[in-house]
A and B are shown apart, each in its own frame.
Chain A
Amino acid sequence: MRKKEWIRLAFGLGLLLGAAASAAAAESTAEKAERGEAVFQQNCSGCHTIGGDRPTGPDLAGVTERRDRQWLLRIILEPDRLIAEGDPTIRKLMEKYPMAMPDVGLTEEEAEAVLTFLQHPLEEQHQAGETAAAKGKTTEEPAGDPQHGRDLYVGTAAFENGGAPCLACHGIAGEGLGRAAGASFGADLTNAYQSYEREGLLEVLDSIPFPSMAPIYSEHPLTDEEQRDITAFLGAISGTPPKIAGVFALDAGIAAAALFGLALLFGWRRLKGVRRPLVAKTLRQSRREAK
Chain B
Amino acid sequence: MNVRSQISSVFHLDKCIGCHTCSIACKNLWTDRRGAEYMWWNNVETKPGTGYPTLWEDQEKYKGGWEVTGHDLHLKMGGRGSLLGKIFHNPHLPTVDDYYEPYTYRYGDLFNAPKGDDQPTARPVSMISGEPMKIEAGPNWDDDLGGSPIYAANDPSMKKLSEQEQAQLFALERMVFFYVPRICNHCVNAGCVAACPSGAIYKRGEDGIVLVSQEKCRGWRMCVAGCPYKKTYYTWSTGKSEKCILCYPRQESGQAPACFHSCVGRIRYLGVLLYDADRIEETAKRTDPELVAAQREMILDPHDPEVIAAARKNGVHEQIIKAAQKSPVYRFVKEWELALPLHPEFRTLPMLFYVPPLLPVIATVEEGRTKLGDDFFSSLEQARLPLRYLASLFAGGNEEEVAKAYRKQMAVRLLRRSETVEGISREVAEKACAAAGIGTDEADSIYRLTSLAGLKERVVIPSMLREQALESIEDPHEHRREAGFGTRRKAKRRW
List A258-283 residues whose CB lies under 8 Å from chain B. Answer: 265, 268-276, 278-279, 282-283
A274 near B150 with CB under 8 A, answer no
A-B pairs under 8 A by CB, number: 44
List B365-405 residues whose CB lies under 8 Å from chain A. Answer: none
Across the interface, name the chain A residue whose C-beta is closest to B97: A273
The smallest C-beta distance from A272 to any residue of chain B, in angstroms, reads 8
**Which residue in B54, B93, B149, B153 is a CB contact (below 8 Å) of A275?**
B54
A271 near B54 with CB under 8 A, answer no
List B87-109 residues whose CB lies under 8 Å from chain A. Answer: 88-89, 91, 93-95, 97-98
A278 near B54 with CB under 8 A, answer yes
**Which residue in B55, B88, B89, B153 is a CB contact (below 8 Å) of A274?**
B55
A274 near B98 with CB under 8 A, answer yes
**Which residue in A265, A272, A276, A286 is a CB contact (below 8 Å) of B149?**
A286
Q: Known contacts A278-B54, A286-B149: does B95 contact A273 (CB below 8 Å)?
A: yes
B149 near A271 with CB under 8 A, answer no
A279 near B150 with CB under 8 A, answer yes
A271 near B53 with CB under 8 A, answer no
Contacts of B98 in A (CB 8 A): 273-275
B154 near A278 with CB under 8 A, answer yes
Question: B50: CB under 8 A from chain A?
Answer: yes
Contacts of B91 in A (CB 8 A): 268-272
Across the interface, name the chain B residue whose C-beta is closest to A273: B95
Question: B277: CB under 8 A from chain A?
Answer: no
**Which residue in A270, A274, A276, A283 is a CB contact (below 8 Å) of B61?**
A274
Beta-carbon contacts of B100-139 to A below 8 Å, as 1s and 0s?
0000000000000000000000000000000000001100
Contacts of A279 in B (CB 8 A): 136, 150
Contacts of A282 in B (CB 8 A): 149-150, 153-154
How many residues on the B side are at the interface (Cβ–Cβ under 8 A)? 21
Contacts of A286 in B (CB 8 A): 149
B154 near A276 with CB under 8 A, answer no
Q: Once bound together, how far apart are the Cα atoms of A283 and B148, in whole Å?
A: 12
B89 near A265 with CB under 8 A, answer yes
Q: Per DSSP, are chain B's interface residues mostly helix, strand or loop, or mixed? A: loop
Across the interface, name the chain B residue whose C-beta is closest to A289: B149
Contacts of B50 in A (CB 8 A): 275, 278
Contacts of B149 in A (CB 8 A): 282, 286
Across the interface, name the chain B residue whose C-beta is closest to A268: B91
Q: Once bound together, how far apart are the Cα atoms of A265 and B90, in whole Å?
A: 10
List A32-91 residues whose CB lies under 8 Å from chain B. Answer: none
Q: Once bound together, how far apart are the Cα atoms of A274 and B57, in whole Å?
A: 12
Q: Known contacts A274-B55, A275-B137, A278-B54: does B93 contact A283 (CB below 8 Å)?
A: no
Contacts of A269 in B (CB 8 A): 91
**Which residue in B62, B88, B150 is a CB contact (below 8 Å) of A278?**
B150
Contacts of A271 in B (CB 8 A): 89, 91, 93, 95
B95 near A283 with CB under 8 A, answer no
B89 near A275 with CB under 8 A, answer no
Across the interface, name the chain A residue whose C-beta is closest to B56: A274
Q: Known contacts A278-B50, A278-B54: does B153 contact A270 (CB below 8 Å)?
A: no
The smallest C-beta distance from B3 to any residue of chain A, in angstroms, reads 41
A274 near B154 with CB under 8 A, answer no
Contacts of A268 in B (CB 8 A): 91
B93 near A274 with CB under 8 A, answer no
The smallest C-beta distance from B76 to any residue of chain A, in angstroms, reads 16
Top 7 A-B residue pairs of the complex, sorted by shortest distance between their CB atoms: A275-B54, A273-B95, A269-B91, A282-B150, A274-B98, A274-B54, A275-B98
15 contacts between A and B (CB under 8 A): A270-B89, A271-B89, A272-B91, A274-B55, A274-B58, A274-B61, A275-B55, A275-B97, A275-B98, A278-B50, A278-B55, A278-B150, A278-B154, A279-B150, A282-B149
Seed contacts A275-B53, A278-B55; 11 additional CB < 8 Å A-B pairs: A265-B89, A269-B91, A270-B91, A271-B91, A274-B55, A276-B97, A279-B136, A282-B149, A282-B150, A282-B153, A283-B150
